[in-house]
Amino acid sequence: MKRLVKAAFFIFLYYSGIERLLARLIRPNAIAVLMYHGVCDRAVLPPEINFHLPPCEFEQQMRALKSRYEVVPLDDVCKSLAEGKPLQKSVVITFDDGYRNNFSYAAPVLKRLGLPYTVYVATSFVDSDHWIPLNEVYWLWSEGKLDSVSMREARTQIRTSASETLVPLVARAERPSVVSKAAEDSFAMLKWKELETMARDGANFGSHTHTHCNMAVQSDQTQKRELLISKQLLESHLGTPITSFAYPYGRREQMSSSARKNIVQSGYLCALSAEQGLVTAESDRFSLPRIGYERPIWRFTGELLYQFIKQAWKEWTT
Ligand SMILES: [Zn+2]
């Protein structure tokens, strides 16, 4: 019931134009860092675990952002936080993992609208035919080659194992020689030449580790290796300093004090989590919260406005 009332309220706010007006007027000192993964036409996975957005909805969201908020590069936010400068209400667009669909579907829209964005790349998958292990598992399951129990077991193993001990179930399963266009669109990873083209068109990049591992369960040595290899590879291919990192999985339990120390020592200026919230001057620069996208459009704009109003109220009452 509460959800229905909230939905009706968001629909009213969106179609009456009140939401757009409020989004422009309200001015909390906070930044919404939006977290996307991919943009593609046909979903391979069922809606409850699909993490890609159809191109038309993505473009609708980007147009909504452009007409309501200032969209800024993450590097500017990192710099302001590092220098202790006050933050001004704005939005940052980020993508995790480094899917090729970022290049095919998202980049042209962002370029056309002139919106800055940052892609967090798990560098061992660039130029490779391999997909992120979790996606191999999801795909085999969606093709009926893994049952649901094995899928869940493999998912837990991938999320909780140190890289050295990881024997993914996917290595034991036969990958069919023919991969559907939809699966390619969903899971194929970027090539270096695509990353370079995106960078020339103004995209920014950050590290998402080398192998897309859970940093909290890796040894100190592996953490350092993951942070340095990915940074060096991106810097040598793109010719610009890489100063931000996004934790794979990104929940509290996938971050640790030793990972934080290694991120700082590896020369990163900030790190992003997948915890929900706005970035404020009080945020820890090495575990910045983000906002997951919502759909449809009225829920997306409504939730974003709600976050900013909540923050403005907090600032006003304290
Ligand atoms: Zn990821």
Distance 134 CA to ligand 1 centre (A): 9
Q: Is position 19 within any domain?
A: yes
Decide if 262 contacts 227 (C-beta within 8 A). Answer: yes
Distance 195 CA to ligand 1 centre (A): 17
Interatomic CA distance for residues 134 and 131, integer angstroms: 8
Q: Is position 233 within any domain?
A: yes
* pLDDT of 166: 54
Q: Is position 226 within any domain?
A: yes
Q: Based on C-alpha coordinates, what's the Rg of the chain?
A: 20
Q: Is position 80 within any domain?
A: no
Q: How many domains does the chain have?
A: 1
pLDDT in tens, 5-27: 989 999 999 999 999 999 999 99
Distance 288 CA to ligand 1 centre (A): 15
Distance 109 CA to ligand 1 centre (A): 22
Cis link prior to 296 (omega < 30° from 0)?
Answer: yes
Q: Is position 86 within any domain?
A: no
Overall average pLDDT of the 98-114 stretch: 97
Backbone angles phi, psi at 91, to 5 degrees: -130, 145
Q: Is position 85 within any domain?
A: no
Distance 50 CA to ligand 1 centre (A): 13
SS3 assignment, position 290: strand
Token digits of residue 35: 């977290």
Distance 96 CA to ligand 1 centre (A): 5
* pLDDT of 42: 81
Distance 21 CA to ligand 1 centre (A): 34
Q: Is position 195 within any domain?
A: yes
Range of the domain at 255: 2-75+91-317
Using alpha carbons only, what angle is made at residue 98 by residues 67 and 248, rounded to the nearest 5 degrees?
Answer: 100
Q: Which amino acid is at 189?
A: M
Phi and psi based region of residue 70 (left: phi greater than 0; alpha: psi -120 to 50; beta: remaining): beta
Distance 14 CA to ligand 1 centre (A): 31
Token digits of residue 99: 């899917």
Please report, rounded to a whole number, the percentage of residues in the chain having pLDDT higher than 70: 95
Identify which of 172-176, 181-185, 201-205 has the greatest average pLDDT: 201-205
| Inter-CA distances, 116 with 48, 100, 204, 271, 278, Å | 29, 18, 8, 18, 18
* Least confident interval from 26-40, 103-117, 156-170, 304-318: 156-170
Where does the pLDDT of residue 165 fall: very low under 50, low under 70, confident under 90, or very high at 90 and above? low
Helix extents (H) in the chain: 2-16, 18-25, 55-68, 74-82, 100-101, 107-113, 133-142, 148-160, 169-172, 181-187, 192-200, 220-238, 257-265, 297-317
Distance 49 CA to ligand 1 centre (A): 14
Interatomic CA distance for residues 296 and 74, integer angstroms: 25
Token digits of residue 88: 């001004």
Model confidence, pTM = 0.94
Q: What is the CATH number of the domain that holds 276?
A: 3.20.20.370
Distance 246 CA to ligand 1 centre (A): 8
Q: Is position 310 within any domain?
A: yes
